[in-house]
Every structure is written in structure tokens, then in C-alpha cells.
Amino acid sequence: MAKASKKGKGRGHKISKVKRTNQIKTKLMKQGKLKGKGNRHMSTICRNPKKNPPKPEVPPVEEASDDDMQDMMDKDDIQFLKDSSAARSYKILKRFNFNGREEGPRRKRTKAVGEDSDDEEMEEKYEEQRQDDSENLKPQRELLPIKTKDGIIRRTTTEPVIKLKPEKVVQLIENAGKLEEKEEEEDDIDLGLEEAADSKLDLSQPLTMAKMLALRHEQVGKYRLRIGCLASGVLEDPVNKLGNLKHLLSFLKDKQPTEVALTAPRLAAISLMEVFKDLLPEYQIKNVEEPNVKLKKETLKLRTEENMLLSSYKNFLTHLEKLLGPILKRRGQKNQASPPGVRLAIVAVECMSQLLEARPYFNFSFNLVRLLVPFLNHSMLPVRSTVAKSISQVLKDDKKGEVSFEIVKRINALVRSKKHAVRPECVSVLLTLRIKDVNLDKEKEIEKKHKKLSKKERFLSSSKRDRKRAKRWEELNKELLETKAEENRHTKQKHFTEVTKLVFTIFFRVLKSAPTSALLTATLEGLAKFAHCINVEFYSDLVNVLEGLLKDEDNKISLRHQLLCIKTVFAILSGHGEFLTIDPMRFYAQLYRNLMKIFIGRKQEDLKVALEIMNDAVMRKRKSLSQQRLFAFTKRLCTVALQQQHNGALGCLQLVKSLIEFSRSLDTLLEPDPSVGQGVYMPLVDDPEYCNAKNTAVYELLMLRDHYHPLVRDYARHILKRPNIEQETGEIVSGVLPQSIEKMSATELFDEYSPADVQFNPATTAPFHFKPKQRVFFVPSKVKNVKLRHLLEDILDEEESSEGKPKEDPNDV
């Protein structure tokens, strides 16, 4: 029963095909019918010692060296081997292994069923023929055989024998390999420039200037072609063509021929600048070498390419710095630099400035800042303007604050070291800073709150659970900033705060130490622009300093400086300084007096500053001003509009229109009869409160109504379009302004219609071409008066006789 159950169990259980095959192999192996591998075979040998007797051990034979084999061979055999190798018949050498020993006999190939024995005979004949050919001195090369009815016809041809020494063969092989590598690297570089450089002119005959210029033009064209091919190759395939940067740098390192000594380095520098502007990334490359860390193949390749790019960029900046030598100021240097060197140095400054402007966050940006900031005080205008333009753009586009802080720090050191005897560009570039969102008062309030609570009180004010939660929130926020790849806001705010402190340090030092220097204009403009960022504690002191500048009779400042001082004061009083106990009436009187000093021409730009002050001091604070002041400033603006160009007149009329619209009491100035009221208008009084401008009329608008500019005419007519004017004069004053013009501010109109580009806006129409009138001939016969008819006939006869022409038909009129 047990056996039956076992069989039943075995039948019900299924075995896989692989397991069944392994069982069969194991069974055959135990029976000795199947040979095993490795240890299984050794076990089989041990089980059947009779069937597989052990083989006798053979002592190892020492292998003979090449020198021993050569001594053992006859000279005739060695010569035979050399001849065979020269004849390219190596069949006999195949019987020997690399040690020179002959291999064992070949195993005969078993013939297949039906195979003919003629193949063996053919092979034997072929081997004999090869051995006979090897005895010939001239090597033969086999050609394709021809198969005919009689058999196969073999064809051969002889080759010339070239005997070379082994050392020469090795040298030729190495040179060929190097030449191939060099051709692969410089496949797009060899453009015949070497031939042009090495070509020598025939100086036995005199050269004309035209021929010399033609030769130079040809040579410059070849240099330009080569530099262009190298640069385009890098841009097309930056990964494989980074080696072209070295060849481009060679134009700056090596000395070029005299004909292209200035042109070739300049072209190479500009080309490299454009290439680096396209290749360099926005971020900074930070490669930390870890010797014990294995990198992936792709990571290692990327790091190698970054290192090559970084080293090439570093070498380029180093050579540009060397080119700056002719324009650098050194102590004790008296010799003037050559003009070609100066021009090349200016190109180097332009390249460095554009690289800093394009990639301010890349490596070596701080080095560029340290090198370019002193050029803001350079004596050459092209160098100074180029550097100022680039640094202004960098400060305007900087969003992190690191580069701005470095630039302002260097400018502060420069101004302090020169004791404010620097060019205005050193301070004017600071006007483009992005520090409008910085509030030093808010930072000071936060510091005060932290000082109020001591460390122990802050610790006791929060529970342990709250402290843990705050710490966890801080860690999560830090990780969140890292995942978003954003700049830390606290770090950014810190940088711009430090920048603001340094900027106001420069401004206050200029006001205190050098109020009459060339930096005063830029300083006052900066204070007026960033006045909202100053601490409230400094407001009163700053206003007193500015008032002292206006009243100083010994060091009288210019009109523009006076206007900027007034603008700064009203910018301070329009923000947090509204609650200060400062009387601005004296500054209103100063503004009213200075408006009449703005004339057309060179001081036309001062009117723009005056319009900005009028917008801040009069328009925005019209509710706090008395009616007398509003009347006085409206009348003064109309008077100033008569002595300005059309853009200045438009700015003044826009303010007049806004004042009349917001203050209905000013409509009395549009009355044609100013006799109503008390007193007489006194235009020479400097105080607007006592000039009695209410008893006058703005007759200037009637004159501006006939202005040469069409928009000024429309603006004047638009202001005069009132019912009382129409009733009194009896004429309809028409003036409709477009909606786009009516919404523009005074400064926008001043800039939009400025004639600085020597262009009239709107464009004037061409004058009408009048055709000359034709001569009218009188017909005397049709005149009824007899005396008049005779007189006309006599006149016509005299004219015809004097001209000597035949009489015309009187009917042709």
C-alpha cells in the first residue's frame, strides 16, 4: 500500500524539463557513459582506475630564448627566413610560435561524404608554387584568378623592392601616426596662413603705396578668415573644438608681422569675447577635487570640459590685462605710449567691460570689477565712458547684490583715496542701483526690538514646544529655498542694505568735505532719488546742510545745483519727513526765483529738473498751498513757456492745464480784463505770496496760440477753451487734444518732443510748389476805349521790335 501511495504521489507531482535533463545527465555520468567537467571528471577517473590509467608525469621543458634559438640555427636558415619575410611569404613562419619553436603536426581534417580529393592536390600545388616564388628576389602580388574549362589560371604581378633598415621603418611609422593626429586636430585651421606669413617680398624693386596696401589687405583677409573659422568651429561643436581657443589665444601671445601687428590681436580679442559670451554659463563653476572619490564617466567628462573652458577664460583675461599697459597710470612713468598700443588697450577695456556685463555671476567677475573700477577716473573719455556704461548696466540688472556690493565698495575706496578729486562718473554710476526697496528705518526698528528683550527673556517668553517648532520651520524653509534654487532673501536684503549704507556714506562725505567739487551734481541727484531710504534721524541735518548751500554767498553754486538742492528737500519732505517741523516756504521762494533764470539753449536741461520739482512741490501739495502761491506759480509757468523751445513750452502748459483743472479759482486768470481786484501784479517780487498774481491775466496763452509748433498751438487753445472767452471775444477757440497726448506728464512731453536729435516732431510737410503764372496777352481790338487801344498797340509793337521776334497771333491768349 505504501508503494502504491508513493507511486500515486509521484504520478501526481510534475517535474520541469530542466530538472528531468539534469537527472538523466547525472545517471549517465555515474554509469561512466558521460564525461564530466572539473571535479566530476576527476571523480570518474578515481572510480575507474583500470579504464583510465594515470599518465606519466613529464618534467617541464625550459623554453629557449630568441638569442639561443638564433645561435642554434644555421646562417643559411636565417637568410632564408629574411628572404621569405621580404617576399611577404609568411606561410613557413606560421609553423613556429612566438618563441621560435615549431608547432606540433596539424590534425588532418576529416573529409565530408562526397568530397573530392582534387582539393588536396590543388592546395599542395599552391604551397609548392608559393615556396618557389619565395625564392625569387622580386616580391609578387597575386591578382584575381580566372576560371576556365581547363582549370583555374593564376595571375601574379611583381612589385618594386624597397629595402629599409628596421630603425627607419619604426621611425616612419611613428611620424605617420603623429602626422595623422595633427591633421585631425587642425583640419579646419590650415588655411594657407603660414605661406602668407613666410612669403617674402622682392625688395630689389621699389613698391608703390597702392601695392603695399593691396598686400596688407590680402594678408589681413587671410588672418580674418582663419580667426573666423576657429571661432565658428568652437561655436558649432564646443565639446570637441575647445582646442581652437588655444590657437585664438596664440594671436594675443605671439608677435604678429608688422603689417597686422594691431589688426590681428584686435580681431582675435573681439572674436574670443563673442565666443566666451556664448559659451560661458550664468552660474559660477565650482570644481572641488576629491582624490578618493570615483566619478562616473559622464561626470568626469563634464568636469574636464569645464576645467578646459575655465583655464582658457583665465588665460584670455590675463592677456587682456597685459594689453592694458599703455593706458595704466604708473608712478614715475614719463614715456608716452604709442598710438597702436593705446588703441589695442581700448579694445581690451571694451572686451573686459562687455564680459562683465554679460556674465556678472561667473568666475573672475570680482577680478574684473577690481580692475575696471579705477578706469572710471581715467583721463581718456572713451575708456571712461565705456567702463561707466558697463558698470551702470551691471548695477541695474543685479538681483543678488553681491556684485553691486563689490562695485560700491571699490568706488568708495577710490573716492576716499583720491580725496574726492575724481571724475563725476565715479559717483554718477551709483544712480542706477536697485535700492528703492531698502528701508533702513525698518532694519533699525527690528534691531531695537531685539535689544529690548534680553536673551533670557526671549528664552522664557517661548515654551519648549514653540522653540522646537520654530527650529523645525527654519530648517524646512531652508530646504525649500534650496529645492527652488532661489537666492536667500535675507542674504539678498543684507547685501543691498550694506550697499545703501556705503552709498549714503559717499554722498554725505561729499556734502561735508567737498561741496564745490565736480561730484556735487551726481551727489544731489542721488540724494533726491534715494531720499526715502535715509533714516529719519538724518532728515533735519540734511535739510540744514542743503539750505546752507543755497545761502552760501562765498561758494555760490550753479543754477542746476540749486535746483537739485530744492528737489532733494521736497523729496525728503514728501515721504517720512512730512511730520517733521520744517518750514518749506523758503524753498518755495527759492524755486519761484530760479524759474526765471532758466533760458533757452545750454540750460534747457535745467527746465526738466524744474518741471519735476513743480510736480512734487506744487501739484502734489496744492491743497496745503495758499491761493496766492498757486496764482503766482501758474503765471510764472506761462511766462517761462514763452522763452523755451516747443518741448519746454509743452511741459509748462501741461502743468498749467493740470493746475486749472484741479483748482477752479484759477479760472480768473483766463479773464481778458485783469482790472477787477485790488492791487497790481508785481513780477519782480521774489516771494510768490506777495507778488499779487491774482490781479493779472495769462495773456501768454494768446501768443502761444500762434506758436510754430502745432501741438503747442493745440495745447494753448485747449486751455483757452472757456465759455467766458468765447462770449467776450466773440470767436470760437478750437483746440482738441488727442487722448494719448492729454495723459502724458510734463516730463514725458519734454522728452518725447525734444529736438536734441535735430528732428522735428511731428514731421513738417514739404512746401507747396507754385507754378509761375503764364503771360497774359491783351487783345487791343477788344478794348472799347480808343486811346487805351492805341496805347496797347504801340506797347506791343515796341516789345516785338526790341526782341526781334515775329508777331504772335493776338488770339492765342
Q: Please compute Rg for the chain using Cα positions.
A: 51
CB atoms under 10 Å from CB of 85, counted, come to: 13
70 contact partners, CB below 8 Å, separation of at least 6: 78
Segment among 290-299, 358-367, 686-695 with least mean pLDDT: 290-299
Mean pLDDT of 84-108: 47
pLDDT bin (cut points 50, 70, 90) of residue 532 is: confident
Q: Is the pTM of this model over 0.75?
A: no
Question: Looking at residues 782-811, what average pLDDT do you find?
Answer: 65
User: What pLDDT band is residue 242 in, cutting at 50, 70 and 90?
Assistant: confident
∠ CA 574-579-583 to the nearest 5 degrees? 75
691: three-class secondary structure by DSSP: coil
- What value, to the nearest 5°, has the Cα angle with vertex 199 and ends 197 and 204? 135
Share of the chain above pLDDT 70, in %: 66
Of 117-131, 461-475, 615-629, 659-673, give the lowest mean pLDDT range.
117-131
Confidence of residue 23 (pLDDT cuts 50, 70, 90): confident
Provide the pLDDT confidence category of residue 410 given band limits of 50, 70 and 90: very high
Q: 628: burial class by Cβ within 10 Å (0-12, 13-18, 19+)?
A: middle
Mean pLDDT in residue range 388-393? 94
35-60: average pLDDT: 46
pLDDT of residue 726: 43
- Min mean pLDDT across 42-51, 314-323, 600-609, 765-774 is at 42-51
516-535 average pLDDT score: 86
Residue 729 has pLDDT above 60, yes or no: no
CA distance 185 to 187: 6
**pLDDT for res 449:** 56
pLDDT higher than 70, residue 137: no
Mean pLDDT for all residues in the chain: 76
Q: What was the pLDDT predicted at 541?
A: 85
Question: pLDDT for 440-488, tens place per residue?
Answer: 555 555 555 555 545 555 555 567 777 788 888 878 777 776 655 455 6
More confident residue, 16 or 382: 382
Which of 145-159, 270-284, 381-395, 626-640 is predicted least confidently? 145-159
Q: Indicate the range of 135-139, 459-463, 791-795 predicted with least confidence.
A: 135-139
- The pairing of strands 156-158 and 152-153 is unpaired
Measured CA distances, 649 to 101, 619, 641, 646, 780 (Å): 112, 18, 4, 5, 60
pLDDT-derived band at 157, boundaries 50, 70, 90: confident
Of 187-191, 513-517, 635-639, 740-744, which gets the smallest average pLDDT?
A: 187-191
Is residue 387 scored above 90 in pLDDT? yes
- According to DSSP H, which parts of 109-262 are helical? 118-135, 166-185, 193-198, 209-236, 244-253
- Which range is least confidently modeled, 201-210, 536-545, 767-776? 767-776
Identify which of 783, 779, 788 has the alpha carbon closest to the alpha carbon of residue 810.
779
Q: What is the pLDDT of residue 407?
A: 94
Higher pLDDT pick, 37 / 82? 82
Q: How does residue 371 score in pLDDT terms, banded at 50, 70 and 90?
A: very high
The residue among 487, 577, 496, 498 whose CA lies nearest residue 531 is 577
Q: What is the pLDDT of residue 388?
A: 94
When comparing pLDDT for 204 and 649, which is higher? 649
Q: How confident is the model at residue 739 (pLDDT cuts 50, 70, 90)?
A: confident
Confidence at residue 356, expressed as pLDDT on a 0 to 100 scale: 93
State residue 611's pLDDT score: 93
Confidence of residue 169 (pLDDT cuts 50, 70, 90): low
Give the rounded percent of residues in the chain with a pLDDT score beyond 90.
20
Q: Check residue 593 and give its pLDDT.
A: 92
Count of Cβ atoms closer than 10 Å to residue 169 Cβ? 10
pLDDT, tens only, 591-639: 999 998 887 776 678 899 999 999 989 988 888 888 999 999 999 999 9
- Residue 202 pLDDT grade (very low, low, confident, very high; cuts 50, 70, 90): low
Return the pLDDT at 28.
83
**How far are the Cα atoms of 14, 204, 329, 336 from residue 332, in angstroms, in the given order?**
105, 45, 9, 12
Q: What is the pLDDT of residue 429?
A: 93
pLDDT score recorded for residue 426: 92
pLDDT for position 126 = 64
Higher pLDDT among residues 215 and 388, named by residue: 388
Query: How many C-beta atoms lie closer than 10 Å to residue 2's C-beta?
Result: 6
Q: What is the pLDDT of residue 448?
A: 56
DSSP state of 553: S
pLDDT of residue 372: 93
> pLDDT for 542-553, tens place per residue?
888 888 888 877
Q: What is the mean pLDDT of residues 245-264?
A: 83
Q: What pLDDT score was predicted for residue 774?
A: 58
Instruction: Look at 626 and 163; give whichever has higher pLDDT.
Output: 626
Mean pLDDT of 402-424: 92
Q: Is the pLDDT of residue 325 over 70?
A: yes
**Most confident region among 174-178, 378-382, 677-681 by mean pLDDT:** 378-382
